[in-house]
Structure 1
Amino acid sequence: MLDISTVTRSDPADTLPPDFVVIDVETACSRVSSICQIGIVGFRDGREIFEYETLLDPRDEFHLFNTRIHGIAEHHVVGQPSFADVHGIVHGHLSGRTTVAHSYFDKGALAAACRVHDRPAIETVWLDSVRVAKRAWPDLESHRLGLLARYLGIAHKHHDALSDARAAGWVIVKAIDHTGIALDEWLAPPRKPGPAPRPAPSGPLSGERIAILGEPRDGALACRIAALGGRIVSAVGNTTTALVIAGRAPYAYSVRNSGAFRRAEQYRRLGGAIRIVSEHELDLPGLAAGPITG
């Protein structure tokens, strides 16, 4: 990382624009304008088509706290360009496109650097890959980039701007593949789930208070439970009688490590009557099959 200057790699035959670009920055100190490294990666049709990375002289001080995080110190950026010098390049990659960042820290840092270096703001459409990941894999305990990279099998060197940008881009690609939700749909505000359906007055699940994992509270699984007399609750609590998991056991890592699953198991260890079952067990009266934990 510390031996790079300004590097751009792309396929010379690839002349079509990217579907989206991803940016990540590292900063020298607590001022978000103090960008000392930028990484940008372009994606089209689920593959990388170009990358750009550079160290920058932030024209600001370096704090030891920041250097310990990313390994970049003042002597590494001697002779490197300033943000003002590369503004045109960054503008050319981002302007008028969809730009992904993992959280909006990078968006704020870019805007602040434009102000401090007296350069025009870069107009782009921002997409937060944290929000995408939370919607695609809602049951993960954390949506930090490092954990997502490990979970999704993405090669990643944390706090290296190019590696972070690449990893965030692959989060988007894999989220599209996983959910079937296209890029333009991710840009729209997420739909808020409606109210849970009212339970039927009688049925094999009458009297059950059921939390759902893996589907919204107004989805097809919730409607099925309500039709069998079960009442949908918003979260696992001490009065919940069952956690019903969309899909079939054995359960994926993201399910087993979700907050709902772990709370249900904790209540069971404490002697609670809550059961953990897959949606395929719902035909059994009163969830009589007992705990199915995969």
Structure 2
Amino acid sequence: MFRDATADIPAQAALSGAGPAAADELDFVVIDVETACSRVSSICQIGIVGFRAGTVAFEYETLVDPRDHFSSFNTRIHGIAADHVAGKPCFADVHEVVDGHLAGRTTVAHSYFDKGALAAACRVHDRTMVKTTWLDSVRVAKRAWPELSSHKLNVVSKHLGIPLRHHDALSDARAAGMIVVKAIDHTGIPLAGWLMLPVGQRAAPAPLPAPDGPLKGHRVAILGQPRNGPLAHRLAGSGARIVAGVGSTTTILAVIGEEPFGYVRYDAQFRHALELQRSGRAIRIMSERKILELLA
């Protein structure tokens, strides 16, 4: 739950409001945001950490008045409520500082939720988009430690022994940065290598559906696992056609994780499935456990 993150920042680190370090002093920066409600623009906390030579070079954290309501769902996750941000700056007020830390650099985020939230906040508050090179530390973790059953921030951090106060923006950003540092050390792939897409490498195709089975005729998208992963093979063996993403003909979105799914609800595929449901389309959103129980 939320508490004042600045209490844990070393004295030599840059604090909220401090100017960014010189561009040539940093290898990369990391950003994490927390949001007040289901609108991704409703940023209520920002944490930014700069890394140089594998160690933390500076840290910036601030609470933000989202100019939006706080949902009880989000507050239960991060512990931030409306009274915590009373009198705090809005995103428009801190945009220049955030841009100064990120612009022209490599910016790490654990999944692209933070990238989308930052872009949405820029649009809502009529501020210029931050021009930076993004690196998804989820993708880094999946490549470095493919044996893990999940590559969520808390799971990877626990596996690597990285201290984490989950859903505190500064702690999350620091942990995501350490994942990249440890991945570089573990694989020998330098930062530049993680930014390059493997030449000629394509995702393995989805398994073909069995001619018969309880899921024959269903088109299933899977969120949280590749379309050639173990769940895809299990569902295809039951007659389902595995599709790359949620579309107008998708009948099931299978979600890795348990209901109410937490931050998965912010994923673009999940939101699209909800929109299709509201428009009257016959698409079901099911956890992996529930869909496998139906097949048992």
User: If the length of structure 2 is used for normalisation, what is the TM-score?
Assistant: 0.62
Structure 1: gaps spanning 5 or more residues: 196-233, 238-294
Deviation at 1:118, TM superposition (A): 0.5
Question: Is 1:29 the equivalent of 2:62?
Answer: no
Match of 1:137 among 138, 145, 150: 145
In our comparison, the structure showing a higher alpha carbon Rg is 1
- Determine the C-alpha separation between the residues in 2 that align with 1:123 and 1:133: 24
2:29 aligned counterpart, secondary structure: strand
Match of 1:173 among 159, 162, 181: 181
How many residue pairs were aligned? 198
- Determine the C-alpha separation between the residues in 1 that align with 2:93 and 2:6: 13
| Partners of 1:34 and 1:60 within 8 A in 2 | yes
1:89 aligned counterpart, secondary structure: helix
- Determine the C-alpha separation between the residues in 1 that align with 2:26 and 2:197: 22
**1:132 counterpart letter in structure 2:** V
For residues 10 and 18 of structure 1, do their structure 2 counterparts lie closer, same or farther at Cα, with a shift above 3 Å needed? Answer: farther
**Match in the other structure for 2:92:** 84
Stretches of 4+ aligned residues off by more than 2 angstroms: 1-12, 14-17, 190-195
Match of 1:72 among 80, 83, 88: 80
After superposition, residues 12-161 of structure 1 pair within 5 angstroms as: 16-161=24-169
| Partners of 2:5 and 2:168 within 8 A in 1 | no
**Match in the other structure for 2:192:** 184
- Determine the C-alpha separation between the residues in 2 that align with 1:8 and 1:124: 27
**1:156 counterpart letter in structure 2:** L
Deviation at 1:9, TM superposition (A): 6.2
Structure 2: gaps spanning 5 or more residues: 15-20, 205-228, 234-296
User: If the length of structure 1 is used for normalisation, what is the TM-score?
Assistant: 0.63
| Partners of 1:39 and 1:162 within 8 A in 2 | yes
For residues 127 and 110 of structure 1, do their structure 2 counterparts lie closer, same or farther at Cα, with a shift above 3 Å needed? Answer: same
RMSD of aligned alpha carbons: 2.6
| Partners of 1:114 and 1:120 within 8 A in 2 | yes
| Partners of 1:40 and 1:52 within 8 A in 2 | yes
| Identity across matched positions, percent | 66
**2:146 counterpart letter in structure 1:** P
- Determine the C-alpha separation between the residues in 1 that align with 2:186 and 2:147: 14
Deviation at 1:5, TM superposition (A): 7.7
For residues 71 and 45 of structure 1, do their structure 2 counterparts lie closer, same or farther at Cα, with a shift above 3 Å needed? Answer: same
For residues 56 and 139 of structure 1, do their structure 2 counterparts lie closer, same or farther at Cα, with a shift above 3 Å needed? Answer: same
- Determine the C-alpha separation between the residues in 1 that align with 2:62 and 2:44: 8
